[in-house]
Amino acid sequence: MDCASADLAPAPLRFERRRGERRTATGSAVAVFQRPGRSPLLASVRVTDAGSGGIGVFADVEIKAGTTFQLYPDDPCQPRRSGRVAACRSSGKSFRLGLQFQQAIAA
């Protein structure tokens, strides 16, 4: 294959809604999920990846998409974040949650 034909090859399609790239991350946090009509749910989560707009975690409980949260990282150097659950998928005995951060409003 020559260079000219390699330049014409289409790039793989990306079927993601994420605005930014995610990077592998580790750590743990405590999440408080605000469930409509019910008391808040406190859950320990394990971080799997992170990006500028959100974070991927594993939890032992199923949380519906759209549920709001506050995330308190175990690392005191990391800030508390809030937002909403963008996705929840079963993964064995755990659930993979996509947490979308709330964007700060400029003054």
What's the pLDDT tens digit per position in 44-58?
Answer: 999 999 998 999 999
What phi and psi, each to the nearest 5 degrees, are found at residue 5?
-75, -30
Query: Could you tell me which of 80, 78, 84 has the C-alpha nearest to residue 100?
Result: 84
pLDDT at 2: 40
CA-CA distance, 43 to 26, in Å (whole number)? Answer: 17
* Domain of residue 58, residue span: 20-101
pTM of structure: 0.77
What's phi and psi for 99, nearest 5 deg? Answer: -105, 120
In this structure, what CATH number is given to the domain that contains residue 78? 2.40.10.220
Euclidean distance between CA atoms 106 and 5, whole angstroms: 47
Residue 89 lies in a domain: yes
Percent pLDDT > 90 in the chain is 64
Is residue 12 included in any domain, yes or no?
no
- Band (61; pLDDT cuts 50, 70, 90): very high
Number of H helices, E strands in the chain: 1, 7
- Residue 17 has what DSSP assignment? -
82 lies in some domain = yes
